[in-house]
Amino acid sequence: MIVFPILSSVISALCAVVMARDAVRRPRPDKVAWSIAFVMFALAAGTDAGGRSLGWEPWLARVYYATGPALVVGYLALGELYLLFPHRLGRFAPGVTMLLTALWVTLVIDAPIDLSRLQQDGWEAIHRGPALIGMALTINILGTLIIVGGLGYSVWHFWKLRIMRNRMIGCGLIVLGTLSVAAGGSLTRLGHYEYLYIAMSIGVALIFAGVLWTRRRDVPAKAPAAQPAASVVASQQMTVNETPVTSLDGFVSEAAHEGIRFIEESLATLTDLALRQRCSEWSVPGGDEPVMTRADAKLAWTLRLRLAPAARQRFDAASVPARRQLAHLYAEVLEPQPDDEPSASANGHTANLHAVAAEPVPSAND
């Protein structure tokens, strides 16, 4: 059965590399947290494989238990919370995370090991007192609820709006993978240790597949036939909820229609505060600065030109932080990239607002 711990370690390491590359290219606290989680997952599975094949040592058992049973789920949940509440977590989350991590590691280091059972039982020879068990259960239960709840909401939201099909599928795979990993941990507590890494391997593979799937771009809908001028004017006078893809002033390519429509639907249905929360869910944190920088203003104006008239009015009525976030949401996440297809903007230049590639986040909220 050693093949399953090795497989889990390799898949986790690959997922950690993917997430770390994303974090380096576009630093976000949620990406950093998820990268740490997968590094820990790979380390835990690797030490388990090493202990099974080469023989257990006390330090191997402690490394496994320090990284695997609780901290993986804890850091995955932390990344999800950063997506849900980026501003509220920014001030205290790093300190609390370091404190809880240090407490967990200290409890594991201080836990006695029954050396007579070590070679036979491996990390299970660690004596787990009430504090260690209580902390592990709390982190696992709350962490799983946060991950599954946040990503489940994201899947439901995408399905409801009929948007971002690939992101919806990716989030669904991550939810299934998380549940599979949780099921593997539950089986060990019920005395079925032999099933642990079968469930773990399946779960990590599903999570990795979900992360990769969220990075796929949705195929744009076929552009509609050109309308007569009178028809275009009439369509631009419709409300945002009635605005078809053809009412985007002709400034964007086929691939950009879906992103603009997403912005218009958000402007039509969400309050100013909800708009800012929506952008944060898509890994676009905001700020409270009442004035835009020159770069922010250019992004906001370019987006404004692409909106239908009714959506422009709502965009103008939004607060400066909400408009800034919406502009960055479109530029950094929703807008097609240069390797997708060319798109002409109002001034004849390419419509790509940023040179950096848009990268989705495996989350509920992208």
Helix (H, G, I), strand (E, B) or coil at 344: strand
Domain spanning 3-214, CATH class: mainly alpha
**Residue 87 near residue 286 (C-beta atoms within 8 A):** yes
Q: Is the dihedral of CA 63, 184, 181, 54 positive or negative?
A: positive
pLDDT in tens, 41-50: 899 889 988 9
> Which range is most confident: 96-100, 326-330, 334-338, 339-343?
96-100
**Residue 330 near residue 337 (C-beta atoms within 8 A):** no
Confidence at 342, pLDDT banded by 50, 70, 90: very low
Structure tokens at 45: 């599975």
Helix (H) and strand (E) counts for the chain? 16, 0
**Residue 327 near residue 303 (C-beta atoms within 8 A):** yes
Confidence at 190, pLDDT banded by 50, 70, 90: low
Confidence at 62, pLDDT banded by 50, 70, 90: very high
> Looking at per-residue confidence, does 187 or 347 come out higher?
187
The CA-to-CA distance between both ends of the chain, in Å, stands at 35
Structure confidence at residue 27 (pLDDT): 80
Q: In angstroms, rounded to a whole number, what is the distance separating the alpha carbons of residues 104 and 163?
A: 41
What DSSP designation does 70 have? T
Q: Which of 283, 22, 326 is nearest to 154 (CA)?
A: 283
Helices marked H in 165-293:
165-189, 196-214, 229-236, 254-269, 272-281
pTM: 0.60
Phi then psi for 113, rounded to 5 degrees? Answer: -120, 130
pLDDT in tens, 106-129: 999 999 999 999 988 888 889 988
Confidence at 337, pLDDT banded by 50, 70, 90: low
pLDDT in tens, 124-133: 889 988 998 8
For residue 352, the number of C-alpha atoms closer than 13 Å in the C-beta half-sphere is: 13
Contacts of 55 (CB under 8 A, 6+ apart): 119
Residues of the chain with CATH 1.20.1070: 3-214
Residue 341 has pLDDT above 60, yes or no: no
> Looking at per-residue confidence, does 58 or 166 come out higher?
58
Residue 340 has pLDDT above 80, yes or no: no
Q: In angstroms, rounded to a whole number, what is the distance separating the alpha carbons of residues 199 and 187?
A: 9
CA torsion angle 181 186 188 189 (round to 10): 150
**Residue 79 near residue 37 (C-beta atoms within 8 A):** yes
Q: Which of 2, 1, 120 is nearest to 50 (CA)?
A: 2
Helix (H, G, I), strand (E, B) or coil at 350: strand
